[in-house]
Chains A and B, each alone.
Chain A
């Protein structure tokens, strides 16, 4: 629906890609680990190698959790916009088909948080 208005009502989206200085946003959530209250938002260049997120970014974001060190990344499975998805760690975000403001989450089999409470 159009907004009911007295005149033309159209605006530029505040979060369009061009506003992020060459980066695009990627949201990442870790299933069954609600100790982190919400999925994270990251600004990454589209040329970044996906595996670099795993190696260099996620430890800083999720490393506080004792489960993080136990993750076997070859076992982890992923979702993009809620649908099963398989990333290629050696390819860039763009080559993995990741666009601005995409949301991905990963599930780590056998790891269900503090005392298996999904925390």
Chain B
């Protein structure tokens, strides 16, 4: 008699083995080095790819099921938020500038991260990291999409968000996050994993996502907050991948240690410079603050990062030396950044403003060593002038750092009254830097950074005007032409928040929602 024997179900571990490593094979028609051409040139030595442990044991079929469920929940919240005119529940229309900054500065990076992880995954001969990179690659494109969807509701009502990706590739300050990621994806697969997988996702991500997501929660932005919660489980997986990758590389060969240390030094600094935007967002752009930039740096980098580097000491990895420099900047970073956007508010895709008296007192209490002495006098002057109808708009283009591409706004470590100038002569040309760290990064790989697309120099070369513009005609207005090239409308997308269309509309619509007018 035939007996129906129930098929034995695979355990989690076996199932993972079958669905990842079991899918790999050893090629016989092609040479390994032809299939994986980028795996050796960075100098990293891997002896046994099977030593890689994926701590999640997530297989692709489970991934789809799990993510689909999360996104169904996310989109139902977004729909409800949109239908309930949720945008009128944010603390203050100034908050929306945070959303603009995020959408044009960060969301496009999610998309580039998707490409970067797809590329790195393709290049790794080991099936463990390859599958992990594939999942992160899909996560990143999902995040780009869900962020755009979460913010699209605001775009119906407020200015500056209409062409965020066009802006990302052109607007002067957006070259900072863009060039950061371009630097990473044009490196080899191992440097990419250390730069984005470890330094950015593991060491610095809490300084990026926590401030934006908790900022959204504190300021009534349910759309961005829900996105943040939805992405949280992915972020946890990304952090673990970042840490796993670094331990794996370090354990494989002692020759890998100095290479990885140099990458950690470089990418901690590069990532920190991009976080300048987050610093000013936290201290200036959230009407309801969560914590100060300085507090956040102390908790997430000095405490948590300090513990991490203690843990990595057994591999011979030490805390990047830029940490000492950063500690000197934490009293100044956000103020210097906000001043810069106040200066160049005519050329930005979001509004700026001067903090009111209460906000200045908050800043003074969070920054007792620096605010009243160095920044309050500047702000009071600007505020007085604005009240007289003489709001400061700096129309002269700034000098930029060749590496991080931020204007040369940073002061000497330990002397907040002097701009920090560094320079290098290379093949008959001069190159300028905001700091010793950006200078060292250039000196190590000058050929990479001589190609930098510096927005100010591109404007002066005539490359940032709409096609057919003749800059030699009489009365040519370069700023107007550059704004057209950015697809920004003068007087609507830029300038001060005070008197902006956003401010006026928000007040009127909220009035309609809460009063009988």
B252-270 interface with A by 8 A CB criterion: none
Known A3-B448, A41-B397, A103-B423: A13·B460 in contact at CB below 8 Å: no
Write the nearest CB–CB distance from B184 to chain A, whole angstroms. 14
B389-403 interface with A by 8 A CB criterion: 392, 394-400
Contact with A along B439-476 (1 / 0, CB 8 A): 00001110110111110110011100000000000000
Across the interface, name the chain B residue whose C-beta is closest to A14. Answer: B451
Q: B336: CB under 8 A from chain A?
A: yes
Decide: B409 and A25 in contact? CB cutoff 8 A.
no
Q: A40: CB under 8 A from chain B?
A: yes
Q: A88: CB under 8 A from chain B?
A: no
Contact with A along B406-421 (1 / 0, CB 8 A): 0111010000011101
A92-119 interface with B by 8 A CB criterion: 99-103, 105, 113-115, 117-119
Q: B38: CB under 8 A from chain A?
A: yes
The CA-CA distance from A19 to B460 in the complex, in Å, is 9
Decide: B41 and A5 in contact? CB cutoff 8 A.
yes
Decide: B445 and A34 in contact? CB cutoff 8 A.
no
Write the nearest CB–CB distance from B443 to chain A, whole angstroms. 8
Set of chain B residues within 8 Å of A37, measured between Cβ atoms = 336, 339-340, 343-344, 394, 398, 407, 409
Across the interface, name the chain A residue whose C-beta is closest to B393. Answer: A64
Write the nearest CB–CB distance from A28 to chain B, whole angstroms. 8
Q: B429: CB under 8 A from chain A?
A: yes
Set of chain B residues within 8 Å of A64, measured between Cβ atoms = 392, 394
Decide: A6 and B448 in contact? CB cutoff 8 A.
no
Across the interface, name the chain B residue whose C-beta is closest to A1. Answer: B444
Write the nearest CB–CB distance from B245 to chain A, whole angstroms. 18
Partner of A38, one of B399, B445, B452: B399
Across the interface, name the chain B residue whose C-beta is closest to A21. Answer: B462
The CA-CA distance from A1 to B444 in the complex, in Å, is 5
Q: B427: CB under 8 A from chain A?
A: yes
Write the nearest CB–CB distance from B314 to chain A, whole angstroms. 27
Stretch of B18-26, B87-95, B130-138, B374-382 at the chain-chain interface: B374-382
Q: B7: CB under 8 A from chain A?
A: no
Write the nearest CB–CB distance from A2 to chain B, whole angstroms. 7
Mostly helix, strand, loop or mixed at chain B's interface?
A: mixed
Mostly helix, strand, loop or mixed at chain A's interface?
A: loop
Decide: B188 and A117 in contact? CB cutoff 8 A.
no
Across the interface, name the chain A residue whose C-beta is closest to B395. Answer: A60
Decide: A1 and B445 in contact? CB cutoff 8 A.
yes
Decide: B429 and A16 in contact? CB cutoff 8 A.
yes
Across the interface, name the chain B residue whose C-beta is closest to A6. Answer: B41
Decide: A41 and B400 in contact? CB cutoff 8 A.
yes
Set of chain B residues within 8 Å of A27, measured between Cβ atoms = 399, 432
Write the nearest CB–CB distance from B247 to chain A, whole angstroms. 22
Set of chain B residues within 8 Å of A55, measured between Cβ atoms = none
The CA-CA distance from A17 to B356 in the complex, in Å, is 45
- Which of B400, B431, B448, B456 gathers most chain A CB within 10 Å? B456
Set of chain B residues within 8 Å of A16, measured between Cβ atoms = 429
The CA-CA distance from A57 to B413 in the complex, in Å, is 31
Decide: B418 and A31 in contact? CB cutoff 8 A.
yes
Known A19-B461, A40-B399: A3·B445 in contact at CB below 8 Å: yes
Decide: A13 and B377 in contact? CB cutoff 8 A.
no
Contact with B along A6-48 (1 / 0, CB 8 A): 1001111111100111010101010110111111111100000
Q: B499: CB under 8 A from chain A?
A: no
Q: A81: CB under 8 A from chain B?
A: yes
Across the interface, name the chain B residue whose C-beta is closest to A58. Answer: B396
Known A11-B447, A119-B378: A36·B41 in contact at CB below 8 Å: no
- Which of B41, B378, B400, B418 gathers most chain A CB within 10 Å? B378
Chain B residues within CB distance 8 Å of chain A: 37-38, 41-43, 188, 336, 339-340, 343-344, 373-374, 377-378, 380-382, 392, 394-400, 407-409, 411, 417-419, 421, 423, 427, 429-432, 443-445, 447-448, 450-454, 456-457, 460-462
27 contacts between A and B (CB under 8 A): A1-B444, A3-B448, A4-B41, A9-B447, A14-B457, A15-B429, A15-B457, A20-B460, A20-B461, A23-B460, A25-B457, A27-B432, A29-B399, A32-B417, A35-B378, A35-B381, A35-B392, A38-B408, A39-B419, A40-B398, A41-B457, A64-B394, A82-B421, A101-B430, A114-B378, A117-B374, A119-B381
In the A-B complex, the 4 residue pairs with the closest CB atoms: A38-B398, A38-B407, A117-B377, A119-B378
Chain A residues within CB distance 8 Å of chain B: 1-6, 9-16, 19-21, 23, 25, 27, 29, 31-32, 34-43, 60-61, 64, 81-82, 99-103, 105, 113-115, 117-119
